[in-house]
């Protein structure tokens, strides 16, 4: 059997740069030592992420996607860590079978099994750089036994290479790279001037201050990203805050806020004016939320590590809340590909465990109904967006339909965000045409958006909106004027959000 293939996704630091020039022995040793040290620490960071990913997957309580965990502030070598996590997950079934057949994974090493798997992948299939850490020494000690086990696996299954042993899991269809310009720090024009020097960049035709770059564009280390001037955020995700359309000066709640991209988008749409209460129950995710807020430069956001359901909607402190963004926990089925869920151990099990998946979705939808009903109970709320990154009717149309009697009794009605967007809600009840769905067929994530507007508030803007409860072309023109330092509609202070609301067209 030929030796296991090298994986090009995780290569030495000088990969692709050609053969290095001759060096003195001392310089070669220093370079090698530096590479080994970098690989050593990358494995530890990857093992920490892998532990959270596997535990979350096993409990169905993921603390974040692979990408969000890797690109958290605590991970220093993000590129190497991301590659190691993804490739270890890709080879995990094979690695587990190798360890089982060799019987070398004693209880001592099982306590560090994520690091063992990462190191075994890296040494057997990746760089083959092994610094003198105890786990590295353990893998190197048994390297020949692992190679023999791999050969037997290939022979038993009548394949030629280890690559042929890999399951044929879903692959990610390349999508455009979307960037949201953080208008609290810069302008779209300034960002375009910087990016067009090295990238093809165009403005999105529906979401204001959103730029579109070719698929595969990697900007994670670009100064615009690290400085918080742009956010790497999907278009469908950005449509959620635009649909809410909060005005400058409003008091707003983001009920389930982490990681915070939608929260800081709201702040930008409000020009940094008014106030936003961002709630997040999970302690670790609340830290990520706080980091996102600091990075954005928004100073009108109060982060709360607590449960939105425990807020008393009749508390005088919340009497002035005018808008609520509710993006609660969901199955994530609409972004499973972007989240790289096809790499998780549960992915293949889910195909054979429909009952378990259905039970989980039932629990999620019950929670979603509860939290949406609570959001509707705030007395001064004029606009409320319920959104999910799910494709399941049970989490989307069914949840909205179940709360409609309550919403109607409180004076709410469904409005139509982005009325010219062709993909609407599933036709399962009267009024579902007001709902919005996005789909991978649109080169987007799978999202769902429902916009509730209190009828009294809708009547106040009836002069401006003649197209099903949304702001129309007149407002678009007014917002264009505002962007040139002018004011229109003297009774309203138009915001960047207003501009977006008026550009709801596709």
For residue 62, what pLDDT is reported?
Answer: 52
The pLDDT of residue 472 is 38
pLDDT at 99: 87
Active-site residue identified among 86, 389, 479, 501: 389
**Long-range interactions of 11-20: CB distance < 8 A, separation 24+:** 11/126, 11/127, 12/127, 12/129, 13/38
pLDDT range class, residue 15, cuts 50, 70, 90: very low
More confident residue, 33 or 30: 33
CATH superfamily of 177-231: Sun protein; domain 3 (3.30.70.1170)
Burial class (CB in 10 A: 0-12, 13-18, 19+), 425: buried
CA triple 339-344-345, angle to 5 deg: 165
pTM, full prediction: 0.66
Confidence of residue 303 (pLDDT cuts 50, 70, 90): very high
Highest mean pLDDT among 108-122, 254-268, 337-351, 476-490: 254-268
Q: Which is nearest to 285 in space by CA: 6, 64, 46, 38?
A: 64
Residue 72 has pLDDT above 60, yes or no: yes
**Residue 277 predicted with pLDDT over 70:** yes
Burial 351-363 (b: 16+ CB within 10 A, else e): eeeeeebeeebee
Region 383-393 average pLDDT: 95
Q: DSSP label at 20?
A: P
Residue 471: pLDDT band with limits 50, 70, 90? very low
- Percent of the chain residues past pLDDT 90, beyond the cut: 45
CB 268 within 8 A of CB 298: yes
Express each pLDDT in 353-374 by its tens digit. Answer: 454 468 888 999 999 999 999 9
**pLDDT for 440:** 77
In this prediction, residue 103 carries a pLDDT of: 84
Query: What are the structural domain ranges in the chain?
Result: 25-165, 177-231, 241-460
Q: Which of 5, 101, 87 is nearest to 50 (CA)?
A: 87
Please tell me the distance from the alpha carbon of residue 120 to that of residue 142, in angstroms, as a whole number.
10
The predicted pLDDT at position 136 comes to: 87
Homologous superfamily of domain range 241-460: Vaccinia Virus protein VP39 (3.40.50.150)
Q: What's the confidence (pLDDT) of residue 374?
A: 98
- State the average pLDDT for the chain: 80
What is the average per-residue pLDDT within 85-94?
84
Check residue 494 and report its DSSP letter: -
Provide the pLDDT for residue 218.
87
Higher pLDDT residue, 10 or 58?
Answer: 58
Query: According to the model, what pLDDT value does residue 298 have?
Result: 97
Task: Assess whether the region 177-231 and the region 241-460 belong to the same CATH fold.
Answer: no
Residue 19 has pLDDT above 80, yes or no: no
As a whole number, mean pLDDT of residues 34-49 equals 83
Q: From residue 197, how far is each of 70, 177, 181, 493 by CA, in Å?
A: 28, 17, 17, 36
pLDDT tens digits, one per residue of 124-176: 887 665 566 888 888 888 888 998 988 888 888 888 888 777 765 545 567 89
389 is a catalytic site residue: yes
Closest CA to 396 of 444, 336, 436: 436
CA 480 to chain centre: 31
Phi-psi category of 228—alpha, beta or left, where left has phi over 0 and alpha has psi -120 to 50? Answer: left
Instruction: Output the six-digit token pair for 55.
Output: 């535990």
**Stretch 271-298: mean pLDDT:** 95
């Amino acid at each position: 059997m030929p030796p296991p293939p090298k994986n090009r996704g995780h290569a030495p630091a000088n990969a692709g740069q050609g053969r290095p020039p001759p060096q003195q022995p001392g310089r070669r040793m220093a370079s090698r030592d530096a590479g080994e040290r970098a690989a050593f620490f990358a494995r530890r960071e990857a093992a920490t992420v892998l532990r959270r990913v596997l535990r979350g997957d096993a409990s169905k309580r993921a603390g974040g996607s692979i990408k969000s965990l890797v690109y958290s502030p605590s991970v220093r070598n993000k590129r190497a860590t991301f590659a190691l996590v993804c490739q270890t997950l890709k080879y995990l079934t094979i690695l587990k079978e190798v360890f089982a057949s060799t019987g070398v994974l004693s209880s001592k090493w099982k306590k560090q099994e994520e690091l063992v798997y990462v190191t075994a992948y890296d040494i057997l299939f990746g760089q083959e750089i092994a610094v003198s850490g105890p786990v590295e020494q353990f893998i190197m000690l048994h390297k020949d036994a692992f190679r023999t086990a791999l050969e037997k696996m290939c022979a038993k299954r009548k394949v030629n290479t280890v690559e042929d042993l890999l399951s044929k899991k879903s692959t990610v269809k390349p999508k455009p790279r979307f960037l949201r310009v953080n208008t609290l720090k810069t302008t779209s024009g300034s960002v375009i001037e910087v990016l067009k020097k090295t990238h093809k960049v165009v403005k999105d035709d529906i979401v204001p201050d959103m730029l579109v770059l070719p698929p595969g564009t990697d900007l994670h280390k670009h100064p615009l990203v690290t400085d918080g001037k742009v956010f790497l955020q999907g278009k469908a995700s950005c449509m959620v805050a635009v649909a809410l359309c909060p005005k400058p000066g409003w008091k707003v709640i983001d009920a389930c806020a982490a990681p915070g991209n939608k929260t800081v988008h709201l702040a930008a749409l409000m020009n940094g004016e008014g106030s936003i209460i961002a709630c997040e129950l999970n302690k670790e995710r609340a830290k990520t939320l706080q980091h996102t807020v600091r990075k954005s430069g928004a100073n009108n956001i109060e982060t709360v590590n607590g449960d939105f359901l425990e807020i008393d909607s009749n508390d005088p402190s919340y009497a002035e809340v005018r808008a609520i963004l509710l993006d609660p926990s969901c199955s994530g089925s609409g972004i499973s590909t972007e989240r790289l869920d096809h790499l998780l151990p549960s992915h293949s099990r889910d195909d054979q465990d429909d009952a378990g998946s259905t039970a989980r979705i039932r629990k999620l939808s019950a929670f979603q109904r509860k939290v949406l009903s609570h959001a509707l109970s705030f007395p001064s709320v004029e606009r409320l967006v319920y959104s999910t990154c799910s494709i399941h009717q049970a989490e989307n149309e069914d949840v909205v339909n179940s709360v409609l009697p309550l919403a109607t009794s409180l004076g709410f009605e469904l409005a139509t965000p982005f009325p010219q967007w062709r993909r609407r809600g599933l036709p399962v009840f009267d009024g579902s045409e007001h709902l919005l769905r996005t789909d991978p067929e649109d080169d987007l994530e799978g999202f769902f958006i429902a916009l509730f507007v209190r009828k009294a508030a809708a009547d106040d803007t009836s002069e401006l909106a003649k197209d099903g409860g949304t702001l129309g072309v007149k407002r678009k023109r007014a917002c264009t004027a505002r962007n040139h330092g002018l004011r229109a509609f003297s009774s309203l202070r138009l915001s960047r959000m207003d501009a977006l609301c008026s550009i709801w067209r596709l």
